Amino acid sequence: MNLFRGPALGPVSKLLTESGLPAADLSPAHLEHFFATGAPEQLTGVVGLEISGDVALLRSLAVAADCRSQGLGQELVAAAERHAHSLGVKELYLLTTTAQHFFGRLGYRDSARASAPAAIRATREFAGLCPASSAFMNKTLSPGPPRR
């Protein structure tokens, strides 16, 4: 698997749109904390982080339809978690309308939207891009040295 950081905006937007996920709020600056698989112009998977101090929003996990059920989603989330941990993030949050079970298997737990930290509530994804019916989940990252 070719996993890399900082994919280009065009291919990310294309894969997210094909997967029915929001991309309108993304800019090249967001992509510093995004990871992708596949070729740079033909992505097979993507995931991103919006980092604010010791919390982050895990967002935009998408795997191309013909590449699903191969573990790409799990690998992308693991890479994002390692990166977040290396930057001092202690808690990850996410919103999902379709992948609650998937994230539950990765250790994310349901959380009340009202409990979201101010930095997470301020993201465009939380504030309006994702519907209010989205599941809101979080995961505490393990203390200690970053996992490799």
Q: What are 93's strand-pairing partners?
A: 57, 138
Q: What are 62's strand-pairing partners?
A: 46
pLDDT for the residue 43: 96
Parent domain of 65: 3-140
> Is residue 78 in a domain?
yes
> Is residue 145 in a domain?
no
Non-local CB neighbours of 105 within 8 Å, separated by 6+ positions: none
Say which residue, 1 or 104, is predicted with more confidence.
104
Pairing relation of β-strands 42-52 and 55-63? antiparallel
- pTM strictly above 0.95: no
Work out the pLDDT band at 121, boundaries 50, 70, 90.
confident
* Contact between 44 and 70 (Cβ < 8 Å): no
> Is residue 103 in a domain?
yes
Tens-place pLDDT, residues 23-80: 888 889 889 999 999 999 999 999 999 999 999 999 999 999 999 999 999 999 999 9
Number of domains into which the chain is organized: 1
CATH number of residue 125's parent domain = 3.40.630.30
pLDDT for the residue 7: 96
> Is residue 146 in a domain?
no
Instruction: Give the C-alpha separation, 81 to 146, whole Å.
Output: 9
